Homo-oligomer: A and B are copies of this chain.
Amino acid sequence: MSFNTFGHLFRVTTWGESHGPALGATVDGCPPGVALDAAMLQHWLDKRKPGQNRHTTQRREPDAVEILSGVYEGQTTGTPIQLMIRNVDQRSKDYGNILDTFRPGHADITYFQKYGLRDPRGGGRSSARETAARVAAGGVARAVLDALVPGLSITGYMVQMGPHEIDRARFDLAEIARNPFWVPDAQAAQDWAQVLDQIRKDGNSVGAVVEVVAAGAPAGLGAPVYAKLDTELAAAMMSINAVKGVEIGAGMGAAALTGVENADEIEMGADGPRYRSNKAGGILGGISTGQDIVVRFAVKPTSSIHTPRASVTRAGDATDVVTKGRHDPCVGIRAVPVGEAMMACVLLDHLLMQRAQTGQAGPVGRIGPAE
């Protein structure tokens, strides 16, 4: 089957192919009475938009979003919100030569095997253009979260490009908006620009690690045991194109720790329990602790490269594939706003679930002296 919906109560269904007439998202389950207009969503789409600098694909898409339903006089009505983005710069002839070959690292071959047909237009449904719809839907989630959880912030950034990691000692959130890599390290931004120019010149591409942090989320979110908050974040991030690994808090590195090192000790703060460290990434037993929620994901290098790679044709003949067309040398860059959008959707979904089961949009049990 094709499962194009995510979320339990805040449900997002995306649709559309990279080179069809349009793509979009149907957002169902949105609370009513929340201020929303297209400009609020466009803000986030512009962040993801291609062609903004030399480090991303030169495809020119305005990615202008239209709200076709579910909003009346600037407010959500509680009915499904249809978000549509017209495809403009389709140039599908760029892809004409790949109709009968399979690009290594791409989904061409598996889509063909699964469905028995090719939609050669830029990857069809498997194209990362689908993530524009997620960003639009994430904008809706952010608008609702702003209303329900004042002070919640969701911030994504790159922490690694190829083998080059940021220096956490230089970490500065203010830098993120100042460079094309969304990297919180001014020096890394400079270095990476040179690295990526060379990669592109070589007809090659490179992977990345993106980190997304939610600060200010309440304790108590997460639905044990098969919709734990970390389970949902892992699924959300792994569903983004080209993602091959997901980590919460200490992540894969948790394997190398001892129990003494790993257990985040607890003390009382002014307004409740406070942790002395955050190996847990803000989640224990699948439920948020009230700390920063920290998720990281690895994005593989773009498979569309100008270097020939061995492959086969539909008829089974050997061939070399060179992917022409316009591509991102590091698709991880544009995954940053997508990761943020997924975080927003997951948090809102769990906030609604907690509200359903307990009547509270936050913790029920209170820790501290009796009042």
Contact = CB atoms under 8 A, between A and B. Distances in A.
Interface string A11-35: 1011111001111101011111100
Interface in A186-201: 199
B358 A116 contact: yes
Contacts of A361: 359
- State the oligomeric state as a number of copies: 4
A288 interface: yes
A354 interface: yes
Given A245-B251, A298-B251, A231 B224 contact: no
A169 interface: no
Interface in A342-363: 352-359, 361, 363
Nearest to A29: B1
B20 A68 contact: yes
A315 B369 contact: yes
A339 interface: no
B252 A298 contact: yes
A58 interface: no
B107 A15 contact: no
A224 B298 CA distance: 19
- The 10 lowest CB-CB distance pairs between A and B, nearest first, are A107-B285, A205-B259, A110-B287, A3-B227, A356-B356, A116-B364, A105-B263, A234-B238, A316-B368, A245-B252
